[in-house]
Structure 1
Amino acid sequence: MLTSINPKLPMRNKAITKAYYYNLGFEQLGSKDYDGYLMLIKDKIEIHFFEFKELDPKENYGQVYIRTNAIEEEYKFCLDHNIKIHPNGALEIKPWEVKEFALLDPDNNLLTFGQTI
């Protein structure tokens, strides 16, 4: 039986990545700090990051789709905390009957948040 999935995304700078995701409401998972690796958690969502200093953000296609049951609150949280919304990712209802918005983190990883309507 599968119980969860924890995506692993590239990061160039651990401190910058950590600060960005802390601003999104994530926290460090566990008390150990690993060289070149970062594990974050918010609610029941875990995202892991591996160091890739040579990453060219323009060539990064890392993507995560995060389901929520409070899309309006998540969107407002981002706006209230001055988190930049993806230029094509404003909150809207998609043809597949999901309300979504999207963000790009400092390494160009795409985070899409969605709630079925």
Structure 2
Amino acid sequence: MSPALTAAVPVLPVHDTHKAALFYRDRLGFAVDHVDAGYAIVVRDRVAIHLWAATDESWRERAGDRPVVSGAETFIAGTASCRVHVTDTDALCARYREAGVLHPNGDLSDKPHGLREFAILDLDGNLITFFERIA
């Protein structure tokens, strides 16, 4: 038998793991499973999103053409995205619209590739697209 992939866990860069975890809890309905200064885990239903602290400011002092050295440079926060499969995109979109977190160009729509989706931005600007398959 071949090995099977069973799940994927997005890990998004943020400026402040505590503030980000509270945003996911208060605005998106996730529970905070873990949070410390460098890492947080938020969970909702069967989805876990991990958040890591992009807090390295040393890039501002470095010379050269390699801006990423530690991988935790502050400019990385907000540059990631992930997609989350959901049920009832319409209801979830309505909740997130009320929470004021919809992406400016991410309102609910049916896509030609057979998905109904919408997108939000987290506190740092990471893009999260919620989708379900349509007939």
Scaled to the shorter chain, the TM-score interval is 0.7 to 0.9
Figure out how many residues of one structure are paired with residues of the other and give that number: 113
The residue number in structure 1 matching 2:114 is 97
The residue number in structure 2 matching 1:15 is 18
The alignment status of 1:77 with 2:79, answered yes or no, reads no
Residue correspondence of structure 1 range 1-117 to structure 2 within 5 A: 1-22=4-25, 23-29=27-33, 33-53=35-55, 54-56=73-75, 60-80=78-98, 82-117=99-134
The residue number in structure 1 matching 2:64 is none
- The CA distance in 2 between the partners of 1:14 and 1:107, in whole Å, is 10
- The CA distance in 1 between the partners of 2:118 and 2:88, in whole Å, is 12
CA displacement, residues 54-75 of structure 1 (integer Å, 9 cap, x when unaligned): 4226x84301100111101111
- The CA distance in 2 between the partners of 1:14 and 1:49, in whole Å, is 6
Deviation at 1:84?
2.3
Structure 2: unaligned runs, 5 residues or longer: 56-72
| TM-score (structure 2 length as normaliser) | 0.76
- The CA distance in 2 between the partners of 1:116 and 1:5, in whole Å, is 18
1:114–1:33: structure 2 CA closer, same or farther, 3 Å change rule? closer
Structure 1: unaligned runs, 5 residues or longer: none
| TM-score (structure 1 length as normaliser) | 0.86
